[in-house]
């Protein structure tokens, strides 16, 4: 096990070097992994297990849709309007107001269909295309995830 002084010396040497990464095996169950971003150092992970590799994949674009996904959308009753962020779904601008849309409502591209509250900010969600709302997929006040279908529109 390294002492605090030894770790401080190691960090100082690492900081003054041109190295961008440092991995130290402390014992068979513990390791220290340090990554440097620009001129600052960042302790990334100290754990009692092997490192976790994070893989990021780009969000699919409209061009990436397969034929089966398009058929699935049609069988569901329309194209989904998806949540652009994580937050709380609100169907109306205030609790005593009418909802922006309901099943059967006709909307134009750019019309506000709901609000998602994220970090105390109210974010308007707009229709990406004109059409008729065929289904509302979430309940008022429900927490939604990024990409989760909120409405189906035909």
Per-residue pLDDT of the chain (154 residues; tens, 9 = 90+): 667 777 777 777 767 777 777 777 666 666 677 776 654 444 444 545 454 555 555 666 655 555 445 544 444 578 999 999 999 999 999 889 999 999 999 999 999 999 999 888 889 999 999 999 999 999 999 999 999 999 999 9
Q: What's residue 69's pLDDT?
A: 52
In a domain, 22, yes or no: yes
* 140 and 105 within one domain: yes
Torsion of CA 78, 69, 89, 130, to 10 degrees: -40
In a domain, 132, yes or no: yes
Q: What's residue 135's pLDDT?
A: 92
* 138 and 82 within one domain: yes
Look up the domain containing 38 and give its range.
4-47
Ramachandran angles phi, psi of 142, nearest 5°: -80, 140
* 104 and 144 within one domain: yes
* 142 and 85 within one domain: yes
In a domain, 63, yes or no: no
**Euclidean distance between CA atoms 73 and 144, whole angstroms:** 20
Q: What's residue 61's pLDDT?
A: 60
**Euclidean distance between CA atoms 1 and 138, whole angstroms:** 52
Torsion of CA 11, 13, 14, 17, to 10 degrees: 160
Q: What share of the chain is helix, strand, coil (3-state, %, to 5)?
A: 15, 40, 45
Radius of gyration of the chain (CA): 24
In a domain, 20, yes or no: yes
* 144 and 80 within one domain: yes
In a domain, 108, yes or no: yes
Of the three residues 13, 32, 47, the one that is the final residue of a domain is: 47
Q: What's residue 125's pLDDT?
A: 92
Q: What is the CATH number of the domain that holds 118?
A: 2.40.50.100
């Amino acid at each position: 096990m390294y002492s605090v002084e030894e770790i401080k010396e190691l960090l100082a040497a690492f900081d003054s070097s041109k190295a961008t990464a440092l991995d130290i095996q402390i014992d068979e169950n513990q390791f220290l992994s340090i990554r440097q971003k620009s001129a600052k150092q960042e302790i990334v992970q100290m754990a009692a297990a092997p490192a976790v590799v994070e893989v990021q994949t780009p969000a699919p674009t409209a061009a990436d849709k397969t034929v089966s996904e398009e058929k699935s959308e049609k069988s569901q009753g329309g194209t989904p309007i998806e949540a652009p962020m994580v937050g709380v779904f609100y169907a109306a601008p205030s609790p005593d107001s009418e909802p922006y849309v309901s099943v059967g409502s006709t909307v134009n591209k750019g019309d506000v269909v709901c609000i998602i509250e994220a970090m105390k900010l109210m974010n308007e969600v707009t229709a990406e295309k004109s059409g008729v709302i065929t289904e509302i997929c979430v309940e008022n006040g429900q927490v939604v995830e990024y990409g989760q279908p909120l409405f189906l529109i035909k």
